[in-house]
């Protein structure tokens, strides 16, 4: 059994660890399909979800994952926490750690928040549920499990389209691609590409139509308006949709076998047309289902019993 102390990012994992988590996640999909959705693996463990940014699927799937494995799960969102009363992140973290949870799942708008907290919170495992535009490791594991279930990711071309500059999902995929043997093609206007993107050694295009042939997956990203520091990154929603939105015509050009993925939340009519989101090519809801299984796997690797103290 593999034991992880923390999970900050794909950058901290090796291929073997990713494969281990995918195997474990795959074996746990079934728990959520049974009439009684409960296994005893994490009985007696306490997990706190500490979310300083909005979330539907990540927060809920961590909560469901913990509960399906019999852990006690507590949710705290920034809007109801004492940070609203001026408490610092570190004080909030230390306060929660003093209650001795096994795992703290953290989402924050500042990159590096999880590593920072881990330096002060001894004895608590920390999972990154998305930190600024840095990393979102459990989303990438979720995507890889979805691709594995759809036939595999090795040697596949995943074309990631949209706001790559501000996307922790895009960044984590770039790191995972080299490790796991798939190719990433980036498509975005120049204003939505990160600085020094060339160092990832992936194909880069500003022309969506030209990047479609040869793609095995069209992976659409939301424009992260909450992280845009200016409002001139693209001209208008209508023009953005025309240049970078996935519509029926583009899906047809991609060919029958090409899958459509999106980490959510989708902005229908912006990065993805509604009928494409609901089409047979879409794996978006499978991603959500696999998100629960992967988070079960990650929580188990962090605090599952290894035969010793818990």
**Shortest separation between residue 221's beta carbon and ligand NCD, angstroms:** 6
Q: Which is nearer to ligand NCD, 67 or 227 (CB)?
A: 227
**Shortest separation between residue 99's beta carbon and ligand NCD, angstroms:** 26
What distance in Å separates the CA atoms of residue 274 and residue 259, rounded to the nearest whole number? 15
The residue ranges of DSSP E strands in the chain, in sequence order, are: 46-51, 72-77, 103-108, 125-131, 157-161, 183-187, 203-205, 217-220, 259-261
Q: Count H helices and E strands in the chain, helices first.
A: 11, 9
**Shortest separation between residue 105's beta carbon and ligand NCD, angstroms:** 12
Q: Which is nearer to ligand NCD, 10 or 97 (CB)?
A: 10
Q: Which is nearer to ligand NCD, 58 or 300 (CB)?
A: 58
In angstroms, the Cα distances linking 69 to 35, 64, 72, 176, 212 are 15, 8, 9, 27, 41
Using H for helix, E for strand and C for coil, what is the string for 252-305? HHHCCCCEEECCCCCCECCCECHHHHCCCCECHHHHHHHHHHHHHHHHHHHHCC
**Shortest separation between residue 307's beta carbon and ligand NCD, angstroms:** 33
**Shortest separation between residue 107's beta carbon and ligand NCD, angstroms:** 7
Q: Which is nearer to ligand NCD, 182 or 219 (CB)?
A: 219
Residue nearest to ligand NCD (CB): 222
Q: Which is nearer to ligand NCD, 169 or 188 (CB)?
A: 169
List of residues contacting ligand NCD (CB under 6 A): 57-58, 130, 136, 139, 168-169, 222, 224, 263-264
């Amino acid at each position: 059994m593999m034991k992880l102390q923390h999970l900050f990012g794909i950058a901290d994992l090796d291929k073997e660890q990713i494969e281990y988590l995918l195997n474990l996640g795959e074996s746990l999909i079934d728990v959520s399909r049974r009439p009684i959705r409960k296994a005893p693996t994490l009985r007696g463990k306490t997990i706190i979800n500490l979310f300083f940014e909005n979330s539907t699927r990540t927060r809920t799937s961590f909560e469901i994952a913990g509960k399906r494995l019999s852990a006690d799960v507590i949710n705290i969102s920034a809007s109801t926490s004492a940070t609203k009363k001026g408490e610092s992140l570190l004080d909030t973290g230390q306060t929660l750690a003093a209650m001795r949870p096994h795992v703290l799942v953290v989402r924050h708008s500042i990159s590096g928040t999880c590593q920072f907290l881990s330096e002060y919170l001894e004895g608590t495992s920390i999972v990154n549920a998305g930190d600024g535009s840095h990393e979102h490791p459990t989303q990438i594991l979720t995507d890889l499990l979805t691709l594995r279930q759809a036939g595999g990711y090795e040697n596949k071309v995943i074309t990631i389209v949209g706001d790559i500059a501000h996307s922790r999902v895009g960044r984590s995929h770039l790191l995972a691609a080299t490790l796991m043997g798939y190719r990433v093609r980036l498509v975005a206007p120049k204003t939505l590409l990160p600085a020094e993107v060339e160092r990832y050694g992936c194909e880069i295009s500003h022309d969506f139509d030209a990047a479609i042939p040869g793609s095995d997956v069209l992976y659409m990203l939301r424009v992260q308006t909450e992280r845009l520091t200016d409002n001139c990154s693209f001209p208008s929603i209508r023009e953005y949709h025309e240049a970078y939105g996935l519509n029926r015509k583009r899906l047809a050009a991609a060919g029958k076998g090409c899958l459509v993925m999106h980490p959510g939340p989708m902005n229908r009519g912006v990065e993805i047309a509604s009928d494409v989101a609901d089409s047979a090519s879409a794996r978006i809801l499978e991603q959500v289902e696999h998100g629960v299984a992967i988070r079960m796997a990650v929580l188990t690797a962090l605090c599952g019993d290894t035969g010793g103290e818990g």
